[in-house]
A and B are shown apart, each in its own frame.
Chain A
Amino acid sequence: AQRVTQPEKLLSVFKGAPVELKCNYSYSGSPELFWYVQYSRQRLQLLLRHISRESIKGFTADLNKGETSFHLKKPFAQEEDSAMYYCALNQAGTALIFGKGTTLSVSS
């Protein structure tokens, strides 16, 4: 079965600390993975796509097919990073399978 697992519901860190949001997936085939972010009172927006291999707002994510993971990392968290983060798997180019999401809380 195709599935995305985000094991942490809440991750609390201090400003300047490193952040790693975990994401594991189950997919038979070549996966295409995304990270989406939802800031308070804003719409869901794309943060990263594994194919593009870019860094957005200091965040990076590497697809590890051996461990079936796509963890989101940032070396130094900022207060404005506080949001809900969703890992998502592209299903046949027509649908996204989302994890349950992780709330990141960054405090000073």
Chain B
Amino acid sequence: KAGVTQTPRYLIKTRGQQVTLSCSPISGHRSVSWYQQTPGQGLQFLFEYFSETQRNKGNFPGRFSGRQFSNSRSEMNVSTLELGDSALYLCASSDGTGKSNYGYTFGSGTRLTVV
């Protein structure tokens, strides 16, 4: 099976702009979750989508939003970018049942730099 694909790999944006990141899960997986990875805070959960519905949400401001399409691909949007949003954004794919022996499979991430 093809792995989890995240695009783009790198992004440089200016403060105040908005950005959209994309994640294509493993074929057949219906759950996509997003994480922010920074040196100071480590890996923090943003939100999870299953069959186009948000099932869980982390403790991030409303500037961070997401959606999932009928083909399970997911997008994450960050509006009004701040310098502190600079991070590696990871998405993870799973079958969504919580019962798979493979747990969550991660993509390579999108490195966002806000200047």
User: Using an 8 Å CB-CB cutoff, how does the interface string of A88-108 with B read, 1 for contact, 0 for none?
Assistant: 101111111111110000000
B98's closest neighbor in chain A, by CB? A93
Asked if A45 CB lies within 8 Å of chain B CBs, one says yes
Band of interface residues on A: 20 to 34
Asked if B104 CB lies within 8 Å of chain A CBs, one says yes
Q: How far is the CA of A81 from the CA of B71 in the complex (A)?
A: 37
| Residues of chain B at interface, number, CB under 8 A | 26
SS class of chain B's interface: helix, strand, loop or mixed?
strand
Which chain A residues border B104 with CB–CB below 8 Å?
A: 46, 96
Chain B interface (Cβ within 8 Å of chain A)? 31, 33, 35, 42-45, 48, 50, 55-56, 58, 90, 92, 96-98, 101-109
Beyond A94-B98, A95-B45, 5 additional contacts (C-beta under 8 Å) are: A43-B108, A44-B43, A95-B56, A96-B35, A96-B45
